[in-house]
A and B are shown apart, each in its own frame.
Chain A
C-alpha cells in the first residue's frame, strides 16, 4: 500500500452544487480510479476535468467515500483515492463505521495478525467497544484469533481466510502451539543415521582417501530428499528446516559441515554455494574425570573430610566400588 489510511474526509465544499454535475463528476472519478488501480491524486482529477471546481470535486469525492466505493489514502505526496474492490464492499454492508475501521486495521496486519491492544492504539477506541466489535466480526466469520507461540497468553487477530505466518505458529516444529520435541528427535536420529551410513560406505569402499572423503559427504539437498522419501513427517519440510536439524547435529558433535562453491544451476545450491555434511567420530574417549563418582557428584562442592559429606562416608563411592 502506498499510503496509510486516514479517516478524514476530504475538505468539504462551502456552496451546494447542481446534482447533475456532481453525479457526472463522481462517475468520471470512478472511471479514473478504475483506470489507475493504484490510486489517483487530486492533481489527476483536476487535469482530467479542468472545468470542475474544487468544491464540486470535493463533494463528488465525499459522496463516493460515504457510499463506501472509494478508499482514501495518504502517502508522502498527498491524498490518494482508490477504488475499493466490490467484494469487500459487499461484506461491510450493514456494519457501521467503527467496525469498518477495526476491520481495516486487521486487514492491514496481513498474516502476522495484530494484538487487541495494538488495535486500540491505532483506532483510539475504548477497550469495551473493541471487544464488542471483535466478537461481532468473529461471529460474522470475517476475522479469527490465533494463539501466538511466542507468548502463550497473547491472541492475535487476522482475516479469516489468511494462513498465519510462521513466526506466529512457530513453523514446522510446532503443532497447536506445542513444540514437537519427539518429532525433532526422530528427524535428528534419521538424519544422523543417513550420514553415518554414507560415511561408513565410503570408508569401506577402500578407494583413495580423497575420493573416500568426498563420497562421505552429503549435500543438504540429498538429506532433504531422503527425509521426504522416508515419509515420517506429516508436514512438508523445506530445505531450511532440514538445515536447522543438521545444525543441531553439528552442535551434538556428531556431524561436521563445509561449504563449497557450486554452479548456480546445480540442484540444491543456494546463492552459488552448497552445504555439505558428513558424520564424524569424537576425537577423545570420555575423559578420566567422569569415570569417577566425584566427576558426576551433585554435591561435589559440599564434600570435605570431616564433614557430613566426605570421601570416607560417600555413598556414591560405596555403590561404585561394589559395582
Chain B
C-alpha cells in the first residue's frame, strides 16, 4: 500500500461514497487491521457513522472482517485492501464490456451489481426489468424471463459469482431492497426460485479465494427455467423468491481475463494480420473456462480442434490454417507456442510471455513519448543486450557520443536505466571499474505503475477543482433546468420558456460548455490511464505467480 495508492483510494472513496466513508477507509488503509473501538477512537467520528461506513465498505467487498488477533473471543478486526477500491476506476470498462457481450440487459445488470456490491438475483432482475421498461416505447414492457436469462448467461460464463457465505459473526447489511415499489405497467412474472440445493461450499476463507466459491451454475440451472407464473396484477408485493441469503457479486477476475485476451488479440492483429488474430481469438475462447487465471499458458489445443472451432465465415482451408499456426509459432513475439505433435500439432497461447511483451512495449512507448525516439532506441538496445558499456551503447545505437551520453544520463536520473559497477580491483577505484548500463523490466514496471496511480489521482483532483471553481455557475444552470422542467410539465407557453432560458447569458453558456468539455476530457483520460494500469498490474501479478 504505497502513498500514491492510498491517495487514489481516498479520492475514489470520496467520490463514490462520501467523506465519512473516505475518512474511515483511508484510516483503515493506512493503519492495517483494527477493531471497531480503535477506529472510532482514532477517527473521532461517532459510533453510528463508523458503523454505517464499515457496512458500506463491507457491502462492496472493500473491507473484510475476521476475529481479532488474540483469538476467537476478541473483537472483530476490519481489514481494507487497496485492490478492491482501485477497481472502482475500472467500472466503466466492465459495464462497456457487458454491453458489447450481452446487450443492454447485460449492461444494466452489471451496473446494478457494481452499484450495490452484493445483491440477490431476484432483486437485480426486478430492478433491471423496471429500468428497461422505463426506456422502452409506450405499452411495451420487459419480461423478467429475458433478464433472468441474461443473468444466468452471465453466471455461466463466470462473470458473476456468489458471495462467499459469511461466518456467523457477520453482520451483513444488505442494501438490496427486497421490497420494490411497484411500477405501473410491469407484467408480474416473478421468478420462482426454489431453495438452492446445498452446494459443496468449502470452508469459508478469511481471505476468500473466490475461484473456489461461487460457481453456482448448476444451482442456477435448477433455479432458472422454472415455471414462470404470469400474474395479472401489476403491483408487486414483497415476496420471497426463495433465494434469500444468496448474494451475487461481479467476478472481477473473469473480466480481467477477458481484457487480457482482448489485448493479446489486438496485439496479434497489429503485428501480423486479421486472420492470425482470429485464430488466436478462437484459441483463447476455447480455453476460457479450462485455464486457471494464473496459468502460464493455455491448455494445449490440437490443430484439428482449432480448425473445427473456427468461425465459419472465415473459410480457411486446413493447410492454410497450418501455415498460419506455423507462422504464429515462428514469430519472435512468441504469442503462440507448439506443445506437441499429436492431432496435427498441439498449440498453446503463452500468456505470461505475451503479458511480458506487452508490458515491455508499454515501457518502450513511455520512453519514446517522453524522451524522444533516439532515447527509445537506447532503451530498446539495453533491453535487448542487457548490459552495455557507454562506448558500446554509442556504437550500437549509432548516435554521436555527446548526445548519447546526455540521453543516457537523463534516463538514469529518471531511474529508467540502472548502472551496474563491476570492479577490476578490490578497491572500487573509478578508473579501474567497469560501469555497465542495464534495464530491469520488473522494477521499472512497478515504478511506472506508481506513476500511473499518481497521474489518475492528479486527474481526479483537477476535475474536482474545475467543478469547484464553477460551482456557482453549475448551481444556477441546475436551478434553471429545474424551473424549465416544471414549467414544461405544467404546460407553460413558449414565451415563458424562452424567458427562463435567457436567464443564462451567452458567455455563461460558453463557460458551461467549456467546463463540460474539460470534465469529459479528464474523465476519458482517467480511463486511458486505467488501461495502462491494467496491463502493468497483470504483468506484475503474472511474475508474482510464477516466481
Binding site for B on A (CB under 8 A): 173, 179, 181, 184, 188, 203, 208-210, 213, 244-245, 247-248, 250-253, 256, 258, 280-292, 294-296, 300, 303, 305, 310-312, 314, 317, 320-322
Tell me the interface secondary structure of chain B in the complex. helix
Tell which of B270, B381, B384 touches A282, judged by Cβ atoms closer than 8 Å: B270
Q: Please name all residues of chain B whose beta carbon is closer than 8 Å to the beta carbon of A314 when the two chains form the complex.
A: 458, 462
Q: Please name all residues of chain A whose beta carbon is closer than 8 Å to the beta carbon of B530 when the two chains form the complex.
A: 288
* Residue pair B365, A286 in contact (C-beta under 8 Å): yes
Q: Is B357 an interface residue (CB 8 A)?
A: yes
Q: Please name all residues of chain B whose beta carbon is closer than 8 Å to the beta carbon of A283 when the two chains form the complex.
A: 267, 270-271, 333, 357-358, 361
Q: Please name all residues of chain B whose beta carbon is closer than 8 Å to the beta carbon of A244 when the two chains form the complex.
A: 396, 398
Tell which of A210, A252, A320 touches B376, judged by Cβ atoms closer than 8 Å: A252
| Chain B residue nearest to A320 in the complex (CB) | B521
Q: Which of B34-42, B50-58, B322-330, B489-497 contacts A (4 or more CB under 8 A)?
A: B322-330
Q: Is B532 an interface residue (CB 8 A)?
A: yes
* Residue pair B525, A248 in contact (C-beta under 8 Å): no
Tell which of B384, B458, B518, B529 touches A251, judged by Cβ atoms closer than 8 Å: B384
| Chain B residue nearest to A294 in the complex (CB) | B455
Given A289-B366, A295-B369, A247 contacting B396 (CB threshold 8 A): yes
| Chain B residue nearest to A300 in the complex (CB) | B451
Complex Cα–Cα for A292 and B228 (A)? 52
The distance from the CB of A149 to the nearest CB of chain B, in whole angstroms, is 10
| Chain B residue nearest to A203 in the complex (CB) | B273
Within 8 A of A (CB), among B311-352: 320, 323-324, 326-327, 332-333
* Residue pair A303, B458 in contact (C-beta under 8 Å): yes
Given A295-B366, A305-B461, A289 contacting B273 (CB threshold 8 A): no
Q: Please name all residues of chain B whose beta carbon is closer than 8 Å to the beta carbon of A300 when the two chains form the complex.
A: 451, 454
Complex Cα–Cα for A119 and B153 (A)? 87
The distance from the CB of B411 to the nearest CB of chain A, in whole angstroms, is 14
Q: Is B231 an interface residue (CB 8 A)?
A: no
Q: Is B511 an interface residue (CB 8 A)?
A: no
Within 8 A of A (CB), among B436-480: 448, 451-452, 454-455, 457-459, 461-462, 465
Tell which of A289, A305, A312, A322 touches B529, judged by Cβ atoms closer than 8 Å: A289
| Chain A residue nearest to B514 in the complex (CB) | A322
Complex Cα–Cα for A282 and B272 (A)? 10
The distance from the CB of B417 to the nearest CB of chain A, in whole angstroms, is 14
Within 8 A of A (CB), among B257-282: 263, 266-267, 270-271, 273, 275-276
Complex Cα–Cα for A295 and B358 (A)? 18
| Chain A residue nearest to B391 in the complex (CB) | A150
Complex Cα–Cα for A288 and B320 (A)? 36
Given A245-B398, A288-B528, A317-B462, A253 contacting B380 (CB threshold 8 A): yes
Chain B residue total in the interface (Cβ 8 A):
62
| Chain B residue nearest to A181 in the complex (CB) | B400
Q: Please name all residues of chain B whose beta carbon is closer than 8 Å to the beta carbon of A285 when the two chains form the complex.
A: 270
* Residue pair A294, B370 in contact (C-beta under 8 Å): no
Q: Is B401 an interface residue (CB 8 A)?
A: yes
Q: Is B219 an interface residue (CB 8 A)?
A: no
Given A252-B377, A283-B361, A284-B358, A290 contacting B327 (CB threshold 8 A): no
* Residue pair A209, B270 in contact (C-beta under 8 Å): no
| Chain A residue nearest to B399 in the complex (CB) | A181
* Residue pair B396, A290 in contact (C-beta under 8 Å): no
The distance from the CB of A133 to the nearest CB of chain B, in whole angstroms, is 32
Q: Please name all residues of chain A whose beta carbon is closer than 8 Å to the beta carbon of B288 when the two chains form the complex.
A: none
Tell which of B267, B457, B465 touches A284, judged by Cβ atoms closer than 8 Å: B267
| Chain B residue nearest to A249 in the complex (CB) | B377
Within 8 A of A (CB), among B531-547: 531-532, 535
Complex Cα–Cα for A7 and B506 (A)? 101
Q: Please name all residues of chain A whose beta carbon is closer than 8 Å to the beta carbon of B381 when the two chains form the complex.
A: 251
A284-B361, A312-B462 given; 19 more Cβ-contact pairs under 8 Å: A173-B398, A184-B398, A203-B273, A210-B323, A210-B326, A252-B376, A252-B380, A280-B271, A282-B361, A283-B270, A284-B270, A287-B532, A288-B531, A289-B366, A289-B448, A289-B455, A300-B451, A310-B461, A314-B462
A sample of 21 cross-chain residue pairs with beta-carbon separation below 8 angstroms, ordered by A number, consists of A179-B401, A188-B398, A248-B377, A251-B377, A282-B270, A284-B266, A284-B270, A284-B362, A286-B369, A287-B531, A288-B525, A288-B528, A289-B529, A292-B459, A292-B525, A300-B454, A303-B458, A311-B462, A314-B458, A317-B462, A321-B522
Which of A245, A295, A303 gathers most chain B CB within 10 Å? Answer: A295
The distance from the CB of A257 to the nearest CB of chain B, in whole angstroms, is 9
* Residue pair A251, B459 in contact (C-beta under 8 Å): no
Q: Please name all residues of chain A whose beta carbon is closer than 8 Å to the beta carbon of B514 when the two chains form the complex.
A: 322
Q: Is B397 an interface residue (CB 8 A)?
A: yes
Tell which of B358, B365, B454 touches A290, judged by Cβ atoms closer than 8 Å: B365
Q: Please name all residues of chain A whose beta carbon is closer than 8 Å to the beta carbon of B240 when the two chains form the complex.
A: none
* Residue pair B455, A287 in contact (C-beta under 8 Å): no
The distance from the CB of B216 to the nearest CB of chain A, in whole angstroms, is 35
Given A209-B327, A284-B361, A286-B365, A291 contacting B528 (CB threshold 8 A): yes
The distance from the CB of A283 to the nearest CB of chain B, in whole angstroms, is 4
* Residue pair A209, B320 in contact (C-beta under 8 Å): yes
Given A283-B270, A300-B451, A303-B458, A210 contacting B398 (CB threshold 8 A): no
* Residue pair B462, A295 in contact (C-beta under 8 Å): no
* Residue pair B366, A209 in contact (C-beta under 8 Å): no
Tell which of B368, B369, B458 touches A311, judged by Cβ atoms closer than 8 Å: B458
Complex Cα–Cα for A256 and B332 (A)? 8
Q: Please name all residues of chain B whose beta carbon is closer than 8 Å to the beta carbon of A181 when the two chains form the complex.
A: 399-400
